[in-house]
Amino acid sequence: MEPRGIMGGLYRASEWIMRLSCINLLWILCGSPFFIFFGMSLLSLLNGGVPDDQLLPFIQQTSILLAILAPFTFFPSTAAVFTIARKWVTGDTDVPMFKTFFRGYRDNFKQSMLTGIIYSILIVVLVVDYYFFFSSDGGKIVSSIFIGLVVLVVISLLNFFSMLVHYHMKTFQLIKNAILITIGKPFRSLSTAILCGAVLYISFTQFQWLLIFFTGSIIATIAYWNFNTIYNKLQQQLDDMKKSEEEEPEITAELDREDLVKTDYKDSK
């Protein structure tokens, strides 16, 4: 029997801490080549190991290498995290984590890899263009446009992962619909950007240990929760449309009945 009161709250909190940290560790483990190289590159930048005149070439080379690693490591691992997040958000909190994680990794590997190649190339182009314009004279305003584009691409990527674990669709259908949802639901996209951005900001600037234990799993859960809200609203709209279509013939048939027409009106026809 599950304890109640304060002890019950502590018990549930410890359960969620265990779930989130376990999935985050699996995420890092399965994407370890990407995360190791990303971490080493980031440390080089933060510790001043890259001269200013070598910054742009370093960014270009690092981005290309990360883009090569990401489709085969980061993307399948992230798809597996979203598989778990879907279960949690839809109420299946007691799902077997290891089994479900690696099943999601296996089942979504091909589609996540193909999408990873497309998104990696796109993000590399945007990041390199950002640093190019940022480092050039008078390019600060133009570089801010690329920041906005990167944010849009990342939000559409989160929507893609949510749709990947929710629908049976072809890869390009998923990408197209993820982009349409990102653009067509701006408030949801903005809330996803703010919430996930806050998690990243706190993780990188205040509590770096969150990166190891919680950051990835929390972001996946937030992103899928937002997507699931969109999905439920769309499903409700669809159900309402079907209901109105079913009622319309009944109303028409009712109005066409001659026996219901008043006598004085029939005489005047």
Q: In whole angstroms, what is the distance from residue 177 CA to residue 184 CA? A: 10
C-alpha distances in angstroms, 261 versus 56, 208, 251, 252, 256? 81, 76, 14, 14, 9
Q: What is the mean pLDDT of the chain?
A: 86
Residue 208 has pLDDT above 80, yes or no: yes
pLDDT, one tens digit per residue, over 101-133 is 999 999 999 999 999 999 999 999 998 888 878
Res 267 pLDDT > 80 = no
Q: Is the pLDDT of residue 51 over 80?
A: no
**40 Cα distance to chain centroid:** 25
Q: What is the rounded average pLDDT of the residues 204-212?
A: 92
Alpha helices in the chain (DSSP H): 5-30, 32-46, 55-69, 74-89, 97-107, 109-135, 140-164, 171-184, 186-205, 209-213, 215-255, 263-268
Q: What is the pTM of this model?
A: 0.86
